[in-house]
Every structure is written in C-alpha cells, then in structure tokens.
Amino acid sequence: MALTAVILPVAAYADKEDDNLKEQVDALQKQVERLENVAATRNTDSSFHMAGYGAVEYADSDSEVGAFNKVMVAPIIHYTYKDWLMFETEFEMSNTSDGGTELALEYASVDLFLNDSVALVAGKFLSPIGQFRQNLHPSWINKAISAPAGFGHGGAAPLSETGLQLRGGFPIGEMRTNYAFYIGNGPTLAAGVEPHEGDYELAIEEVETEGRTDDPDGKKSFGGRLGFLPFSGLEIGISAAKGKATVTDAFAGGHDGPELDIESSGEFDYDAIGADFRYGWKNLELRGEYIKTEIGKGSAGVTFHSDDLPEDYLGPSEFDDVETGQWKAWYLQAAYKIPSTSFEVVIRTSELQTPHFGENYSQQTVGLNYLFAPHVIAKFNYEMKDYDSLIAGEQDTVKLQLAYGF
C-alpha cells in the first residue's frame, strides 16, 4: 500500500509533464507553420542595407589648446526594390564644443535605373562637380584628415544640390567613360558690408551650395562632370556648372557681425569649371583637382530693411554696386602604401584663392596612415597653413584620427 501511494502520484506527475511537453511541441509546430506562411508570402523584391562611416579626431595647433575636437558618425541607408529603384540617404551626427549634437542631412534621393547605362536621381545629392566631394570626402576614404583647401564648407567647390540628375557610363571604343549631369535650385550668396576708403561697400563673402529646397532667384542651375578612363589606372574628368544666384544672407562686418534683413536682391551670374585626374600604379596613387567658381555682376542692387537694421550698423541700406569675384582651389596628392606593411605615406599640397585677401591660404599636409583593415584606418597628419594675410600668418597643426567604414 505504501509503495502504491508513492507510485500513483509519480505516475500522475509524469502524465502531466507529458501533456505539458505535448502542448509545447504543438505550440512550436504552429509557430513554425506561421513563419513558413510569412516567408512564403513575404515580398522578396525589396531589400534593406545599412552602411556608413565615422571618426574620432584630436588636434593640437599653434592657436588652440590640444583637444579631442571631433566625434562623428554618418549612417548611410539603402533600400532597393527589384533592380530598378533605390532610395539612399546619409545623415551626419557630430558633437559640438559645448557637448551638444549637430545633425545634418548630407543627401537623400530616389534613384531610378532606367537601363544599364542611365540612372535618374531625384532629391538632394552630392555635387557631381569634381571628384573630392562626391567620392572622396568620407573619413575612411580620404587619405588625409582634413579636406584640401577650398574643398570644404565656404570654399570654391560646390557641396550638394537639390534637383534631378542623370548618372551612368558608356564605352567609346576601347575607352570607358562615366557622366553625371544635373539641374537644380542652384546656390545662394552671402554678402558682407565693410568700410572702404571712407565709405562702405557690399561684397560677396561666400557662395552657399548646401542643396537648399527653395530657389530665391527663380532660375535653375545646371551642370555636371564627364570622366574618361583611357586605360586601366587613369581617369581624367572635366566639370562645369552655370546658373543664377541671389543674395539671401548679409552681415555687417562679415559673418561675425550683425545680420541684415534683405528686402531685395538682383540676380548674379554663377559659373563653375573644374578638372581632375586620378592615376594608380601598383602601390602608388596620384590625384589632383582644380575648381573655379565665379560670381558675375548682378542685374540690380541689394536693399536692406531700413527699419530693422541693427543699432550698431552705420552703413547704407541700399547698394547699387556689389563686389563679386572668383573662388579658386586646387590640390595635388600622392599616397604610397609601403609594400609588405600596413603603413601608407600621404603628401598633399593645396591652395584657396578668394576675392578677400584675408581668407586666402595654402595648405601642406604630410601624413602617415596605418590600416588595421581596408576600412579601419589610423592617421597621423602634420598640417601647415600659410595665410596671405600677415595678421593670420602661419598655423601648424598636429592631427590624429581613427576612421572606420561599416
């Protein structure tokens, strides 16, 4: 009797465990069937991909205390549908000097692949004028830490555009070519009021090419680049752009002065031309690029709101004549990967010339890179800036960077 009293509860417990196990198996079987049904009905024509790059930098210059001055990441998202549509976007997040965060939309576009040789791009895209901005500026691709003189914000090279673009390539006999042609809203202009010979003058300070979504002058800009690859290792490109631009930002005494509210501004001619090359042979890569942006005389003057002018602004509220000019930039770069090592030596010289003497400078960079992997690079740069202005003088900077692509 005692043995029976022990066995019966154990058997009942075993039967209960068998029932629980059977219920779990049945539930798992139903989940598997649901997953199989989802997989069978899922749209396999779509795909999603995420990439990007980032960097951490340290800089110590003659004029500033050494600091870790930059932490940034730029995720890039791609969505494709079948083989004829792709959406792509890149947004950059970086820290600020006070510990805050900056967020910028670098580009966002819908790309329609019309055939094997033509893609239609609609949205905000990197400017196809030249090579550096559209192909080389990511930190893990750029051989140096900084951009060449004049190829960053406020320089001679356009940054981005909002509009339509056709991209592709085609053969010419044995030679390959690539192209990118666009139409877009075009640039705008920033101007500054400066004392001049006992009076005041208004001068164009900067050509702003941030790919804005309005067109203040009402005239579209157009341009593009055509690249030729006559043989393996060599590419030669020519670029041009043309359009109109109008003053949308003005400051008393330059960008550091009070902002002036613009009532009206005429149209100014906008023209850009460029040429670039790239040659690779074994472990050696040579690159060079030249960009000239010119702002021509406008069709009318620039007028400010006289009722809204800052109290410390003493200049006139209307200018019939505006100082325009040319922004020119170029660079030459050599990079050599030392055989049987992970080290790479980089040398770059570049120069920016503007209508404003105090902003003109040349820049020389000597660098040593260590490649942990093709997409993970540590860089050491010694950068020398030499300003035309005696006030600005020379500035040497030691820079370190850890850059990665993913």
Average pLDDT over residues 121-136: 97
Q: Which of 72, 163, 174, 49 is nearest to 404 (CA)?
A: 72
86, 72 contact by CB (below 8 A): no
Sign of CA dihedral 355, 360, 362, 365: negative
Predicted confidence band of residue 10 (pLDDT cuts 50, 70, 90): very low
Is the pLDDT assigned to residue 14 strictly greater than 70? no
Q: What pLDDT does residue 302 have?
A: 94
Task: Say which range, 156-165, 247-256, 315-324, 367-376, has the weakest mean pLDDT.
Answer: 247-256
Q: What pLDDT does residue 4 have?
A: 43
Task: Say which range, 204-213, 219-228, 384-393, has the weakest mean pLDDT.
Answer: 384-393
Is the pLDDT assigned to residue 12 strictly greater than 50? no
Is the pLDDT assigned to residue 19 strictly greater than 80? no
Choice between 127 and 195, residue whose per-residue pLDDT is larger: 127
Share of the chain above pLDDT 70, in %: 89
313-319: Cβ within 8 A, 24+ apart: 313/193, 313/252, 313/257, 313/258, 313/260, 314/200, 315/193, 315/200, 315/252, 316/200, 319/193, 319/201, 319/202
Residue 202 Cα distances to 30, 259, 327, 354, angstroms: 76, 13, 17, 15
Is the pLDDT assigned to residue 82 strictly greater than 50? yes
CB within 8 Å of 29: residues ≥ 6 apart = none
Average pLDDT over residues 327-344: 98
Is the pLDDT assigned to residue 338 strictly greater than 60? yes
Q: Average pLDDT of the chain?
A: 90
Q: What pLDDT does residue 360 have?
A: 95
Is the pLDDT assigned to residue 190 strictly greater than 60? yes
Average pLDDT over residues 199-204: 91
Average pLDDT over residues 206-231: 96
Intra-chain end-to-end CA distance of the chain, in Å: 72
Q: What pLDDT does residue 300 have?
A: 83
Predicted confidence band of residue 255 (pLDDT cuts 50, 70, 90): confident
What's the rounded Cα separation, in Å, for the pair 78 and 108? Answer: 10
The string of pLDDT tens digits covering residues 262-302 is 999 999 999 999 999 999 999 999 999 999 999 998 888 89
Average pLDDT over residues 18-33: 63
113, 83 contact by CB (below 8 A): yes
Name residue 274's beta-bridge partners: 239, 291
CB atoms within 10 A of CB 399: 21
Average pLDDT over residues 136-147: 97
Q: What CATH homologous superfamily does 43-405 map to? A: Porin (2.40.160.10)
Q: What pLDDT does residue 21 have?
A: 59
Choice between 398 and 33, residue whose per-residue pLDDT is larger: 398
Token pair 């006030």: residue: 391
Q: What pLDDT does residue 306 have?
A: 80
Share of the chain above pLDDT 90, in %: 76
Q: What pLDDT does residue 183 have?
A: 98
The string of pLDDT tens digits covering residues 26-81 is 666 666 666 555 555 456 799 999 999 999 999 999 888 999 999 999 999 999 99
- What are the residue boundaries of the structural domains of the chain, listed by start? 1-42, 43-405
The string of pLDDT tens digits covering residues 358-371 is 899 999 999 999 99
What's the rounded Cα separation, in Å, for the pair 68 and 80? Answer: 38
Average pLDDT over residues 216-228: 96
Choice between 347 and 15, residue whose per-residue pLDDT is larger: 347
